[in-house]
Structure 1
Amino acid sequence: MKLHLLNRRSAHNHSFKVTHNRYPNFLRIWHHHPELELVLVSKSTGTRFIGDSIEKFGPGEVVLIGKDLPHMWLNDDIYFQGKSDLTAEAVAAHFKEDFLGSQIFMVPEMKHIGALFERASQGIKFESVTPTIIERIHRLPVLENFEKAIGLLEILHLLAMHREYKLLCSKGFTNSLGEGEDINMDKANAYIFKNFNTPIGSKDVATVLNMNPSAFSRYFKRIHRKTFTKYINEIRIGYACKLLMEEKNTVTAVCYESGFNNISNFNRQFKQLTGMSPSEYVKYHTD
């Protein structure tokens, strides 16, 4: 999965951009951009990739993504079938942290929004979002200039005060990198996300980066604050959760499809990361 830098800059004479997107499917590109992104999914289902987080998504989901955090909404296979009449619909706002000025979110009355932006560096999924917030996001694209700016500010205020949320990707994923390191880690992450469910190891990724395997392991742990093995297992278990939620495969099939080579290790890693066995996870999410 190659990582793309997309242009999400606002139009001339606008400090941010809001769009109401309606397509047969969402953009199937693993990408990032310097703007934060607020997304309300109106229609469609699939798998959401944000940093090292892999989860199912559906209608009504509200997510805030920090600047330069890689992400992708991948619709279910049925959205790509030739005769499908399904649509993927979402409202998205793209804005920089200083879209209202470089200091505004540092003043006491706005610090809670500045703190929201900091949390967004890991990606935020808001739980139990109120109808008021949903309605305000839906209305945002049709507002004009001043009303749109105030509308976005009010939405950010409500989300900053909202206490039911989940941080999506690991903190280590978003660590600031030195000059040139971001390019190397982009390559590494793109290779990992493309091949995580195959028998890859740290030596394979080191080869892609033309690095000594030992040097790569130290570099990777410094950036992600965890070993390569732990990182790849977390991604595989995230993908396994997605497959189990679809209820299309047996636990054994999910084990091998998500990249594990034996069921006992899969069960052990799954319970360690989720606190329950695969069968308990399915029961908990389907009852």
Structure 2
Amino acid sequence: MKLHLIDRSTPQNASFTANIHEGSHFLKIWHYHAELEFVLILKSEGMCFVGDAVEPFSAGDVFLIGKNTPHMWLNGEIYFEEDSTLTAKSVAAHFKEDFLGNHFFETPEMKHLAELFEKARFGIKFLNLETQIIEEIQGLIDLDGFSKTMAFLNIMNTLAKHDGYKLLVSSGFLNAFQVSKHKSLDDVYAYMFKNFNKPISLDEVAKIANMNSSAFSRLFKRINGKTYSRYLLEIRIGYACKLLLENKGNVSEICYDVGFNNVSNFNRQFKFLMGCSPTDYVKSHL
């Protein structure tokens, strides 16, 4: 599973695209593109992998992901079962920073939008949005031409002034990540995100990067500001938190679902990262 460059270029008669994406599950590909990606989840749930972050998503969630920021939308395993009747559905818009011209967003009136697009490099998850803005995003699909462009700008204006949001990607990853410079790690990230619930040894991922274990460990820590084992642990515990809050099983079951081989170690590592036991974590969120 490699990091893919996807062509999201817009048709000649449009400055940006806004479409409904619907299927049995979302595109399970670790990818990036030159366009920013704006997404409203309408149906389904799962985990969004953005840079070095793992973030749960569900219906009603809104994300803005910057240009060339690697990401993947991964639905739960039940969506991939042969007899599943579940569907994944979203409104997704793709646009370039200069989709209205080279200098449009450099004007004083548009400065806050330019700042929003720059912040999107970290991946933004908007929190506590009002119903009205959700309806406006859905309404983009029914518009075209001038009306669609103005509606989109109004939505971006609202989001740029919205106080509730979460930045996903760490500064260390963002500063170090370059698609052309660290191709050896692109495949490692993709492999980890796809197989984090299975045993993954340091030697295994070092081999994927065509490096020896020592050299790989040094490079990985320099780029991510954390060791490979810590990075993998955060992915597993992050997914465990999602399963716990969604009541997808008891602690023992979830322990094995996210790649641990015994419950005591899972509880210990969970408390190390989250500051509380899995049971207390659930209680604190009820």
Structure 2 length-normalised TM: 0.89
Tell me the matched-pair count.
Answer: 286
Alignment-derived partner of residue 52 in structure 1: 52
C-alpha contact (below 8 Å) 2:236/2:258 kept by paired residues: yes
User: After superposition, where does 1:240-255 map in structure 2 within 5 Å?
Assistant: 240-255=240-255
1-side partners of 2:273 and 2:182: how far apart? Answer: 27
Map 1:69-80; keep pairs closer than 5 Å. Answer: 69-80=69-80
Unaligned runs of 5+ in 1: none
What's the offset of the Cα at 1:275? 3.0
- Partner SS for 1:90: strand
- The yes-or-no answer on 1:191 pairing with 2:188 is no
Counterpart position of 2:19: 19
Cα distance in 1, alignment partners of residues 82 and 168 from structure 2: 33
Say if 1:111 and 1:264 are closer, same or farther in 2 by CA, change over 3 A.
Answer: farther
Distance 1:105 1:252 in 2: 52
Conserved? CA contact 2:66–2:121, under 8 Å: yes
- SS in structure 1 at match of 2:112: helix
Instruction: Trace 1:203-218 onto structure 2 (pairs within 5 A).
Output: 203-218=203-218
| Within-5 A mapping of 1:24-39 | 24-39=24-39
1:55 touches 1:241 (CA, 8 Å); kept in 2? Answer: no
**Unpaired stretches in structure 2, ≥5 consecutive residues:** none
Task: Indicate the residue corresponding to 2:105 in structure 1.
Answer: 105
1:79-114 Cα shifts (integer Å, max 9, x gaps): 344454443221110011121223333333222222
After TM superposition, give the deviation of residue 160 of structure 1 in Å. Answer: 0.8
Change (3 A) 1:259 1:81: closer
Q: 1:241 is matched by which residue type in structure 2?
A: C
Distance 1:45 1:107, change over 3 A: same
Letter in 2 for 1:79: Y
Amino acid at match of 1:96: K
Q: CA deviation at 1:182?
A: 3.3
Tell me, yes or no, if the aligned pair for 1:22 and 1:88 is still in contact at 8 Å.
yes
Conservation of the 8 A alpha-carbon contact between 2:244 and 2:251 = yes
Change in 2 beyond 3 A, CA 1:138/1:248: closer
Q: Distance in 2 between matches of 1:154 and 1:249?
A: 42
Q: What amino acid maps onto 1:111 in structure 2?
A: K
Aligned positions of 1:210-229 closer than 5 A: 210-229=210-229
Alpha-carbon distance between aligned partners in 1 of 2:183 and 2:173, rounded to the nearest angstrom: 14
Asked whether 1:278 is paired with 2:258, we answer no
TM-score by length of 1: 0.89
Question: Do 2:113 and 2:160's aligned partners in 1 also have CA atoms closer than 8 Å?
Answer: yes
Aligned to 1:147: 147
Cα distance change of structure 1 residues 24 and 212 upon mapping to structure 2, 3 Å threshold: closer
Residue aligning to 1:118: 118
For residues 45-64 of structure 1, give each alpha carbon's deviation from its aligned partner in whole angstroms, at most 9, with x where no partner exists: 33333233333322111111
Does the C-alpha gap of structure 1 residues 103 and 219 become closer, same or farther in structure 2, counting only changes over 3 Å? farther
Structure 1: which amino acid aligns with 2:212? N
> Whole-Å Cα distance in 1 between the matches of residues 259 and 78 of structure 2?
23
Compute the RMSD of aligned alpha carbons. Answer: 2.2
Seen in structure 2, the aligned counterparts of structure 1 residues 257 and 211 have a Cα distance that, compared at 3 Å, is: same
Matched, 1:96 2:96: yes
SS state of the match for residue 12, structure 2? coil
**Superposed displacement of residue 37, structure 1:** 0.6
